[in-house]
Structure 1
Amino acid sequence: MFRKAGVVALSAGLLLTAGATGVMAGGSPDWAGPPDWAGGPGGPPDNGNGNQKVENVIYMIPDGFNADYATNYRMYKDEEAVWDEHMKGMFTTYSADSSITDSAAAGTAMATGEKTDNGVIGLNPEGNELETILEASADEGMASGLVATSTITHATPASFASHVEDRNNETAIAPQLLAGEVDVLLGGGKNNFLPESEGGNQETDNLIAQAEEQGYELVETQDALLDSEIDIEDGEKLLGLFADDALAPEMHRDNTEEPSLAEMTESAIGNLEQDDDGFFLMVEGSQIDWAGHANDAAWAMQDTEAFEAAVEEAIEFAEDDGETLVVVGGDHETGGMTVGAGENADMNVNPSVLKDVTATGDHMASELNDDRSNVNEVIETYTNFELSEAEAQTIQQADDAALAINTIIGDQALIGWTSTNHTGVDIPVYAYGPQADKFTGYLDNTDLPKIMAGALGVELGE
């Protein structure tokens, strides 16, 4: 498949320290990284599926997810998740300048196989451009796709097809996604493709018009996505921008015309599989991370459920195809979620209560009146339990009403939290398909794209 080379313009910016974008204090610790005997791109033993041919890679990233999320989700679902039987190993996540990574540095490591500083996308700490697994695959004629429930210019998807010093510079990321000619782009962030004169964030450029000139079909609704058909081999591409900013949380998606993550994944696979040279697809469940930042256990579990549906689409395709490798691994953990909270004398967890929560804590807080005298009515509207007098008073007096609501809902589920930011714990990796066992053992996040590149037979980092 023919691809023209795009000239990527690098943009400079200051690293912000607010929220998840901030650079954490301190560099990586002395112990960081796998020991000499542990796994790596050449290290893990080949335990059963040899060097079978890999034509396609589907890289599924549940942002903010780790083993505690997996455990709580299994209890929430009351049965194993689709990824459980495909557990292979664990990996470390530290960035070049911190023991705790942000999504930009983690995304860069998982896309390029190289560490960088927090806040930086697609560049090493010295500012040099790093080749991504998506770009290396495209150089070999493979089709490519990015799917996310955030803006498509957000840190994780951006890490696979752009190179900027500041992850927040999404208006610089958007044109790079088009310059790289990613075949399928599905997510939110329409405003980052439109000029200010049309209510967008670009100073003057209309990137949607530019995309259409490049052969992209624009779709903006669930129905339009499901009806879309493009011919990858004929150079046609698909740009789905389903919201001005990020898509709605999963529990609010039914009130919109936005597609589910599973629908976007199915559409991306269906279009990309037309390429005889194979494809590379990254799919992010973006808002699991946002739920973790909010300590919102219901949002976290329901967006994990939506992510699992997307993974099921990927594995079903891989089962039929026989030459597709599916890899599932979060970029870091968010919130310090725990299995069990409080004194918990019964030593039990009850995440199933979260199935009946129908709004995020942020949404519930937005419906409180000025004196919060309607707190009981709001909670009863969106949950299946009544507040005690003490709980109602806690919400009424809290500086952060949303966090207070989420804490009480978490207490109902006996799910706890230790942070409202990222943590530095190791992350499980799951894999299915040819060469899946090469992910076995104790890895680093930089190992994942190296293993994928080896499985695809592409050179990474040239």
Structure 2
Amino acid sequence: MRISLQAFVVLWGALVFVGCNSSKKEAEPLETAKEEPLNIIFMIGDGMGVPQVSSAYYFGDSLPNFSRFKQIGFHQTSATDYTITDSAAGATAFSTGEKTYNRAIGVSVDSLPQETILERLQGEGYQTGLISLTTITHATPASFYAHVPDRDMHEEIASQLVESNVDFFAGGGKKFFNQRTDGKNLFEELVDKNYHLDTLELSETIKGKKNAYVLADDGIPSKIDGRGDYLSEATTMALNYFDQREEPFFMMVEGSYIDWGGHAENAEMMISEVADFDKTLGVVLDYVEAHPNTLLVVTADHETGGVSIGKHYEVDKSTGKKKEVPEKVTVYFNSNQHSGELIPVFAKGKGAENFQGIYENNEIYHKMINAINQAK
């Protein structure tokens, strides 16, 4: 059968139209599919440098969870006024993306409030959480929600926490809430703001409420003083709580007493705190592996103690001389203060590759924000 050129063109156009529409229809699910928002878990081992991480390998009974990371970098820690940073300036650099002076909490070098990553993500619909072993008003956790010129303004910091709308927080510091110089009882204000509050134990979270656990007048006890598994249990509770809702979350978890072990030049304390942090790290890594839409970043604000791990000597009873024990090592402290060491950064999950290299501490904020933007 012969057809005219004009009829052929019309027929060909119709076939192309049908074919194009068919292809477009098949592609629609891919075009409209959306990535899940990125969860961020930020773990800070306060005072944890390379030697502290190394202790987990020399004194532990099994391979540390640190070995589960493939993406590793280093950051430089200096504050704007001191080469050796404190925890306040270090955490503020993490939380705001801007370096500042020692003792500053969530403020710039001019003492002006700076929006933190926690506050920014709250504005984008994120759930938020904070877990610490110290008072929840201490420098590291405070730097994520408070804005004061000096870290010792604990009562003002506690007042700002009440107004911060953090969904889940756990730590110590009762005295800054209910034994205040202004006579206020901030625990009553938390309850009025629909918080499930517990000042005795890590009781079960309540869905539909914010949850607050303030469990000691000052800090939670150290591991060698009988703390138990508080850090891993609180972290597990928070993850389960966040999973009850569809919104993404940002959570900061601090292993606070690695730093205190360095200040006290107490090797047993430092080793046990690193081991406890590594145990909690295992909980979080399991979560990240089961939830691909999550980024875990692990680092420290600074190193404490100028720690090194070296040869172990014992006195030979027959000669009275020191003799090296080949199969053992010893923790040595160079000082009881912070040092200027580069600090390791471990990352796992979506966007982890961005944390390789050597960079300033405030860049961690920008890398986390970039990872969130890339996941959108």
Q: Please, what TM-score do these two structures have when normalized by structure 1? A: 0.69
| Aligned mates of 1:289, 1:349 — CA distance in 2 | 27
Please give the alpha-carbon distance, in whole angstroms, between the structure 1 residues aligned to 2:64 and 2:118.
Answer: 28
Task: Find the counterpart in structure 1 of residue 171 from structure 2.
Answer: 187
Retained in 2: the 8 A contact 1:340–1:348?
Answer: no
Q: How far 1:433 moved relative to its partner? A: 0.7
Deviation sequence 1:190-247 (CA, Å, 0-9, x none): 11111xxxxx13422110000000011111233xx2x42322xx4x101101111000
Alignment partner of 1:105 is 2:97? no
TM-superposition CA deviations, 1:149-169 (whole Å, max 9, x none): 000000000000000111011
1:62 pairs with 2:52: no
User: Match for 2:197 among 215, 218, 225?
Assistant: 218
Matched, 1:171 2:144: no
Note if 1:457 corresponds to 2:362. no
Match in the other structure for 2:137: 153
> Which one of 283, 308, 318 corresponds to residue 278 of structure 2?
308
Match of 1:243 in 2: 216
- Residue type of the partner of 2:73? G
Alpha-carbon distance between aligned partners in 1 of 2:180 and 2:257, rounded to the nearest angstrom? 22
C-alpha offsets along residues 287-335 of structure 1, whole Å, 9 cap, x if unaligned?
1101100010100111111111211111111111111111110110000
Contact 1:349 1:414 in 2 (8 A): no
The unaligned stretches of length 5 or more in structure 1 are 1-51, 195-199, 351-412
Q: Which whole-Å CA distance do the structure 2 matches of 1:259 and 1:131 have between them?
A: 33
- Indicate if the aligned counterparts of 1:153 and 1:170 stay in contact, CA closer than 8 A: yes
The verdict on how the C-alpha distance between 1:270 and 1:348 changes in structure 2, with shifts beyond 3 A counting, is same
User: 2:358 corresponds to which residue?
Assistant: 442
What are the Cα deviations for residues 79-121 of structure 1, in whole angstroms up to 9, with x where unaligned?
4311233151111000011110000000100111100000111
Give deviations 1:116-149, integer Å, cap 9, x for gaps.
0001111111111111111111010100000000
**Alignment-derived partner of residue 208 in structure 1:** 187
| Closer/same/farther in 2, CA of residues 288 and 423 from structure 1, 3 Å limit | same
Rounded Cα–Cα distance in structure 2 between residues aligned with 1:179 and 1:75: 44
- Deviations, residues 372-416 of structure 1 (Å, cap 9, x unaligned): xxxxxxxxxxxxxxxxxxxxxxxxxxxxxxxxxxxxxxxxx5211
- CA change 1:247–1:315 in 2 (3 A) is same
Structure 1 101/293 Cα, relative in aligned 2: closer, same or farther at 3 Å? same
3-state SS in 2 of match to 1:59: strand
Gaps of 5+ in 2: 1-34, 314-321
Q: Which amino acid aligns with 1:314?
A: V
CA RMSD across the alignment: 1.9
Q: Which amino acid aligns with 1:428?
A: P
Give the share of equivalent positions with the same residue, in percent: 35
Q: Does 1:422 align with 2:338?
A: yes
Q: Distance in 2 between matches of 1:341 and 1:176?
A: 48
Per the TM alignment, residue 348 of structure 1 is displaced from its structure 2 partner at its CA by 5.0
Q: Is 2:312–2:325's contact at 8 Å kept on the other side of the alignment?
A: no
The C-alpha deviation readout for 1:32-84, integer Å capped at 9, x for no partner, is: xxxxxxxxxxxxxxxxxxxx865211100000001111112211015431123
Question: Matches of residues 3-82 of structure 1 in structure 2 within 5 Å?
Answer: 55-82=38-65
- For 1:430, the aligned partner's letter is F
Show the counterpart of 1:364. Answer: none
SS at match of 1:340: strand
- Confirm or deny: 8 A CA contact 1:54 1:434 kept in the other structure: no
What is the CA–CA distance in structure 2 between the aligned matches of 1:154 and 1:338, rounded to whole Å? Answer: 27
